[in-house]
Every structure is written in structure tokens, then in C-alpha cells.
């Protein structure tokens, strides 16, 4: 009897590289056929009037609330397939770590998800239809100050059956960034501290920028580009787009590495980097050096090992030479009264008797 294989495929659309003027349209990370659970999406319909100029507020739920306050948002769920779909809706945990916005596994809760109510919890959509979902968020009066993260997920799954041995689960969602505290929205700004050029052992060049978040709110680097000028022979290169998916927590320092074309020549270049996060657009210029590493790690290890072996050998040779020299001196010592063996007590007595 053939064993039924069950594979769970999570297709997560995280909105990492949506353009600043786009709505929150989620696309599965894995291409899906025209029918099945993978052909659906979500988008955020409402955004605060005070944030109408903030690109992040058009695709994510981004807000600052005092304890005891509540907000409501609407999310549109659309079935893009040619078959009816059942889509479940719920909030699950997220966090910002290592310059990334990370999703909790499955339906893992956190403090913020307990404040969120999604109604309805599921929708049955006919082919090519849409439905509105209400998201209510209420901050308890006893809530501590600080920023919290979550995701409102839309999930569709197809379980294995008599005709299909493989099941699948697809999720797309809208991020939630909620800051709790008094007063107005806290500062969300950043600075590019420095840039460094490098090549790896395969000769692939890159430029790494060190970025520091100036406020307590998380910041997503939504767009940016790097331009190189003044290279060898006066050549220029770029612009190079930054890789998507970089998020810094409040007051965090992290790095963004931009890969470059392998054919770029060695030498100093003048680099200009522009980064955008929300309403903040920052730029920096620096001279970076693109060159091969002076000594690959393997050669360094070989060099250190050889140097250590040489030192040990020198120490052994020195010890042997010192021992031979001492032995030679002992053999050439003169036969003087001081070096002769003094007679023992019995010998002295015999001499006296004589």
C-alpha cells in the first residue's frame, strides 16, 4: 500500500519590495496555477489620514496609540483563481531581529495578536470574487509603552484526498506595526554612517552600508539605489538597486549589502547611496575600494601553521646545540686539585698512620 505523502508548502507574501505608490496587493512567493489555493491576495483598504503621505501606511497597518485607544481597518480578500476558495483569516506573531521582519510559525500568538479581532474569521469566495474583512485593534489601558509587531494572515489550504497525495497551505498577509505610548507619533528616522567596498574569494564585488535607526520605531528600507562614479579610467556604474526585506528595530544599527557586477574593475570608486523608509529619504557618499582579499583564509591558516612549526624547530635546534656545547666544555675541563676527587675519610686515616 502506497504511503500518502503530505507536504506543507507555505507561500508567504511579505510585501518586502512593493513600490511606494502601490497598494497592499499580496502575491504568493511561489508561482501558482490558475486554479487552487495559491491564487488569492489581500490588500489594505484603509489608512490614517494623518499618514496619507507615508508609503508604508498604504501597505501595512502602521499606527501610534495611547493605552485604552482602538482603531479599525478593512482588508480586501480576493480570489484570483477559477475555482471557489475557503480563506481563513487570523492574526499571528512577528518580530524584528537581525535586520529582518520575521514571522512566527503557524498561528503563534503574542501580546499584540491578543488585541486584534478579525471578522469574519473565514470567507468562502466564488471564482474571481472579493470580500471585505474588518480588523479591530484595542489597546488595553494597562498596556506598557513600546512597539509591537504582528501579521494579519489570509490562509487557504488544500488537504490530501483520494486524488491528490500532496497537500498545500498558502498564506498572504498584511503586517502590523503598533507603537503604544503617550503624545504623538515618535521619531522614525535613520542615518547612513559609513560604506565599505569588498570582494569575496570568488571575486564578486559588493558595497556594505552601516545604517543606524535614530528613533524607537522600526523602519523598513522600502527602496534605494547605489551609484558608482570616478572608477578606474573615469568609468561609472549603476544604479544598483538595494535588496528587499531590510527592517531595523528602534535604535538598532545594522548593515545593508548591495551586490555589484562581477566585471567591475578593482580600484577606488566614489559611491553615492540613497535609502528611503516611509517619509525619510537619506543619502551618503564615500570612497570605497573594490579589490580581492589580500590573503584567502586557507593561505592564512597555512602560513600560521608553517610559522608555528618553524618556531618549534628553531627551539629544538637551539636546545640541542646548547647541550652539545655544555658536554664539550665538561670534556675539556683541566685536571687540577680543585677538580680532583677529594679522598674519603678512610683514605685520610691511612695517610695519617703512615
From the centroid of its chain, how far is CA 259? 15
Cβ atoms 167, 8 nearer than 8 A: yes
Q: Where are the alpha helices (DSSP H) in the chain?
A: 55-59, 297-331, 345-353
**Phi, psi (degrees; rounded to nearest 5) at 151:** -140, 135
Three-state DSSP state, 294: coil
Between CA 182 and CA 196 the distance in angstroms is 39
Between CA 348 and CA 354 the distance in angstroms is 10
From the centroid of its chain, how far is CA 114? 27
Give the chain's domains with CATH numbers.
10-180 (2.60.40.10), 190-290 (2.60.40.10)
Between CA 116 and CA 174 the distance in angstroms is 13
pLDDT (tens, 9 = 90+) of the chain, 354 residues, equals 444 433 433 343 333 333 322 233 333 333 333 344 458 899 999 877 777 777 788 889 999 999 999 999 999 999 988 889 999 999 999 999 888 999 998 899 999 999 999 999 999 999 999 999 999 999 999 999 999 999 999 998 876 666 666 667 888 999 999 999 998 878 778 999 999 999 888 889 999 999 999 988 888 888 899 999 998 888 899 899 998 888 988 888 989 999 999 889 888 999 999 999 888 899 999 999 988 665 555 555 555 677 777 787 887 878 877 777 777 776 665 555 554 555 555 554 554 454
CA atoms within 13 A on the CB side of 344: 1
Q: What is the 8-class DSSP label of residue 290?
A: E
Between CA 11 and CA 157 the distance in angstroms is 11
Amino acid at each position: 500500500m502506497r504511503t500518502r505523502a503530505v507536504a506543507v508548502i507555505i507561500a508567504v507574501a511579505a510585501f518586502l519590495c512593493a513600490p511606494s505608490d502601490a497598494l497592499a496587493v499580496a502575491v504568493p512567493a511561489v508561482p501558482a496555477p490558475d486554479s487552487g489555493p495559491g491564487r488569492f491576495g489581500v490588500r489594505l483598504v484603509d489608512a490614517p489620514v494623518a499618514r496619507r503621505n507615508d508609503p508604508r501606511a498604504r501597505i501595512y497597518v502602521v499606527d501610534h496609540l495611547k493605552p485604552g485607544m482602538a482603531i479599525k481597518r478593512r482588508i480586501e480578500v480576493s480570489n484570483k483563481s477559477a475555482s471557489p476558495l475557503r480563506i481563513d483569516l487570523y492574526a499571528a506573531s512577528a518580530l524584528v531581529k537581525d535586520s529582518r521582519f520575521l514571522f512566527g510559525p503557524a498561528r503563534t500568538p503574542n501580546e499584540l495578536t491578543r488585541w486584534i479581532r478579525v471578522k469574519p474569521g473565514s470567507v468562502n469566495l466564488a471564482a474571481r470574487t472579493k470580500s471585505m474583512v474588518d480588523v479591530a485593534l484595542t489597546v488595553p489601558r494597562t498596556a506598557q509603552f513600546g512597539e509591537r509587531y504582528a501579521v494579519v494572515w489570509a490562509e487557504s489550504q488544500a488537504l490530501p484526498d483520494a486524488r491528490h497525495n500532496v497537500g498545500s497551505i498558502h498564506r498572504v498577509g498584511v503586517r502590523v506595526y503598533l507603537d503604544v505610548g503617550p503624545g504623538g507619533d515618535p521619531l522614525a528616522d535613520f542615518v547612513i554612517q559609513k560604506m565599505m567596498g569588498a570582494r569575496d574569494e570568488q571575486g564578486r564585488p559588493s558595497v556594505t552600508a552601516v545604517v543606524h535607526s535614530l528613533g524607537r520605531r522600526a523602519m523598513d528600507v522600502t527602496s534605494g539605489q547605489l551609484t558608482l562614479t570616478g572608477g578606474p579610467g573615469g568609468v561609472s556604474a549603476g544604479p544598483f538597486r538595494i535588496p528587499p526585506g531590510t527592517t531595523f528595530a528602534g535604535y538598532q544599527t545594522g548593515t545593508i549589502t548591495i551586490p555589484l557586477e562581477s566585471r567591475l574593475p578593482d580600484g577606488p570608486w566614489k559611491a553615492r547611496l540613497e535609502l528611503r523608509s516611509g517619509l525619510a529619504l537619506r543619502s551618503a557618499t564615500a570612497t570605497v575600494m573594490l579589490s580581492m582579499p589580500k590573503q584567502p583564509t586557507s593561505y592564512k591558516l597555512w602560513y600560521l601553521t608553517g610559522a608555528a612549526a618553524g618556531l618549534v624547530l628553531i627551539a629544538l635546534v637551539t636546545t640541542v646545540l646548547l647541550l652539545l656545547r655544555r658536554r664539550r666544555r665538561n670534556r675539556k675541563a683541566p685536571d687540577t686539585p680543585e677538580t680532583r676527587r677529594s679522598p674519603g675519610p678512610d683514605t685520610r686515616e691511612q695517610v695519617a698512620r703512615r
